[in-house]
Amino acid sequence: KLSLVIFTCMVGVKATTLDDVLYDDDGKVQYAYYRMDNYDTISSVYASDYTDFDVGVDAFRVDWNTTFSIFDSPKEVHVSRYDVAYTDGKYSRVGGEGGYLMIPSGGAFFFSTSPLAYLEDMTTGLYGSEFSDTSMAFASGLSCIGMNVGASATAGENISIVVVTSGTYDEIFGTDGAPTVASECQEASFLTGYDDLHNNPVDYVVNGTCSEVLSGPGGAEDYDNLDSPIKPLVPHYHSRGALYYNAVGSSAYDTNVSSLQVGELRFVQEGYYYGPETMDPWPGSTVFSLHEPDPSSIVISSAEARKESAKKSHLETYTSGPGSSYTPCSFACLDTPGTTETTMRCVAP
């Protein structure tokens, strides 16, 4: 049995609306919408012109009280967003000169409406990842990340950058010169866009049953994580939950729930049956579907894979590549509720 809830709101603070969050009877979030205007708190933050750090730029941080987790999440996942005012085509630095975020051990996802955003590794001073409004990025845990964003292509229109973290993070911002980079900061590993994030190198095994599995495009060797852009889809559920980010156009998922708009995020719990997924216009919309909604489940491939996975206790036993007889666990199932005894999950080996 599922029930809708509404959040109480303090005077002067936005609040999540009736149809934006669904809990089950045990208090587990089944879906949550993170919209442009349904945040719970808003605060001013410092930002500056990237070419002249003495020139301030209007910027705000918004946060939601609604967090989420899946069955093997080590912590609750938090969502925040930074909104930066239009700067006549210039780049802005969130947090001002040398400002950065201290990413928790589980890592972070970044999405933005900026035509080009840069993430800086504060330990090396290198710009390890750049992405646009039709892409996304992941930064590894315990790194310290600076955020530089280009102005909107539309005069007068603000840009946003959404940050999704396993656990909470710290802001190290300042208005009086660059802050010192903390000794705890570790060198960052970045993954950017479909090429880096489509396959998550974890050989999950099937738990439960599904008679009609859904396979994504591209044939991921291990676990199909990021699909972008996605197409309209019939009703289904996810084996590890999912995050949807709407980049172009709008998209709809849940009955009697308003469509997701540009710059907005939706979480859906594993095993929750919904749909169909529709886009407007179609073709012409761009939506990301991320099948690891918890950033702590992302494993950096190549030589860094084992070092990174060692930080993630719930994935300690992952294998770096499938054997000849390995069949990837599917990210979703088309079975309607009640046709199988249990829903399918993809669980760590």
Quote the percentage of the chain above a pLDDT of 90: 70
In a domain, 197, yes or no: no
Residue 80: CATH number of its domain:
2.60.120
Higher pLDDT, 309 or 114: 114
The per-residue pLDDT for 69 is 98
The per-residue pLDDT for 18 is 54
The β-bridge partners of 63 are 41, 80
Q: How many domains does the chain have?
A: 2
User: Is there a single domain that holds both residue 128 and residue 227?
Assistant: no
- Final residue before a domain boundary, out of 175, 192, 209: 192
User: Is there a single domain that holds both residue 136 and residue 243?
Assistant: no
Residue 305 has pLDDT above 80, yes or no: no
Band of pLDDT at residue 308, cut at 50, 70 and 90: very low
Residue 5 has pLDDT above 50, yes or no: no
In a domain, 130, yes or no: yes
Is the overall model pTM greater than 0.85, yes or no?
Answer: yes
The per-residue pLDDT for 19 is 85
What are the tens digits of pLDDT across the range 187-209? Answer: 999 999 999 999 999 999 999 99
The per-residue pLDDT for 217 is 63
Find the length of the chain: 349
User: Is there a single domain that holds both residue 152 and residue 265?
Assistant: no
User: Is there a single domain that holds both residue 64 and residue 162?
Assistant: yes
Band of pLDDT at residue 152, cut at 50, 70 and 90: confident
The per-residue pLDDT for 15 is 42
User: Is there a single domain that holds both residue 46 and residue 188?
Assistant: yes
Residue 14 has pLDDT above 60, yes or no: no
- Enter the tokens of residue 176: 């009086």
User: Is there a single domain that holds both residue 68 and residue 173?
Assistant: yes
User: Is there a single domain that holds both residue 149 and residue 248?
Assistant: no
Band of pLDDT at residue 215, cut at 50, 70 and 90: confident
- Final residue before a domain boundary, out of 174, 192, 210: 192
What are the tens digits of pLDDT across the range 42-82? Answer: 999 999 988 888 888 999 999 999 999 999 999 999 999 99
Band of pLDDT at residue 138, cut at 50, 70 and 90: very high
Q: Which of 34-38, 169-173, 181-185, 242-246 has the lowest mean pLDDT?
A: 181-185
In a domain, 18, yes or no: no
Residue 9 has pLDDT above 90, yes or no: no
Per mean pLDDT, which of 56-65, 150-159, 212-221 is the most reliable?
56-65
In a domain, 9, yes or no: no
User: Is there a single domain that holds both residue 129 and residue 238?
Assistant: no
What are the tens digits of pLDDT across the range 67-121? Answer: 999 999 999 999 999 999 988 878 999 999 999 999 999 999 999 999 999 999 9
In a domain, 19, yes or no: no
Q: Which of 199-203, 298-302, 339-343 has the lowest mean pLDDT?
A: 298-302
User: Is there a single domain that holds both residue 39 and residue 179?
Assistant: yes
User: Is there a single domain that holds both residue 171 and residue 287?
Assistant: no
The per-residue pLDDT for 130 is 85
In a domain, 328, yes or no: yes
User: Is there a single domain that holds both residue 44 and residue 179?
Assistant: yes
In a domain, 2, yes or no: no
Strands 144-150, 100-102: pairing kind: antiparallel
* Domain housing 290: 223-347
How does the average pLDDT of the chain come out, rounded?
Answer: 87
Q: Which of 10-24, 65-79, 140-154, 330-344 has the lowest mean pLDDT?
A: 10-24
User: Is there a single domain that holds both residue 51 and residue 188?
Assistant: yes
- Final residue before a domain boundary, out of 192, 215, 232: 192
In a domain, 301, yes or no: yes
